[in-house]
Chain A
Amino acid sequence: QQQVKQSPQSLIVQKGGISIINCAYENTAFDYFPWYQQFPGKGPALLIAIRPDVSEKKEGRFTISFNKSAKQFSLHIMDSQPGDSATYFCAAIIETSGSRLTFGEGTQLTVNP
């Protein structure tokens, strides 16, 4: 059963634009929400993560927005660059009960020059 739903499946943005990827979860026991970035032919790498008691976290051009009541969170990439073209996965974990990450389906982002 998919517990983290991610949309859109693919996204095309012009250079300098804002990329927005959305995720929704079901299990309210999740207590950490990371985002991973994967370039073609490579393994994913941690990009940024947030706890549900924080509404927003920003690292450079990447921002996570978190809406606990709606059980939704999103990744915003400001001033998108062609080098940001990759697949992005949201994920969720119950940190206190082990290390199993539940991943969303992934979003393939293409930033056109």
Chain B
Amino acid sequence: DGGITQSPKYLFRKEGQNVTLSCEQNLNHDAMYWYRQDPGQGLRLIYYSQIVNDFQKGDIAEGYSVSREKKESFPLTVTSAQKNPTAFYLCASNRVGGSSYEQYFGPGTRLTVT
């Protein structure tokens, strides 16, 4: 089955620790995205990448970092500099040159930092 895999589903960390969220896709999509979802605030774009070894900051990139070494993988690191990291994180992908409005989302990772 083609799709996007995010792991783990739930993640718990202590304040001050960096944590990396995994995102893998086997849809052969060029573009990948990371969103943060908080109640009442919709989906806010953290980082996106349209090609391997290149990525751009989204609207709320501070305190986050990403890498795109392979087409299939787009891991997100939540650093200790992120002031309020507890949230639901969603990874998405789509084809460059296709219907840009149709993004395919993974099941999400719920991160809790205490």
Which positions in A face B, CB cutoff 8 Å?
Answer: 6, 9, 32-34, 41-46, 49, 89, 91, 93, 95, 98-101, 103-106
Contact = CB atoms under 8 A, between A and B. Distances in A.
A9 B102 CA distance: 23
Contacts of A32: 100-101
Interface residues of B, number: 26
6 contacts: A34-B101, A43-B107, A46-B101, A89-B43, A99-B31, A99-B94
B32 to A, nearest CB: 10
A64 to B, nearest CB: 12
Contact of B40 (A33, A99, A106): A106
Nearest to A4: B42
A103 B42 contact: yes
Interface of B: 4, 31, 33, 40-45, 48, 50, 58, 90, 92, 94, 96, 99-108
Contacts, number: 64
Given A44-B105, A45-B105, A95 B43 contact: no
B108 to A, nearest CB: 5
Given A89-B43, A105-B40, A99 B48 contact: yes
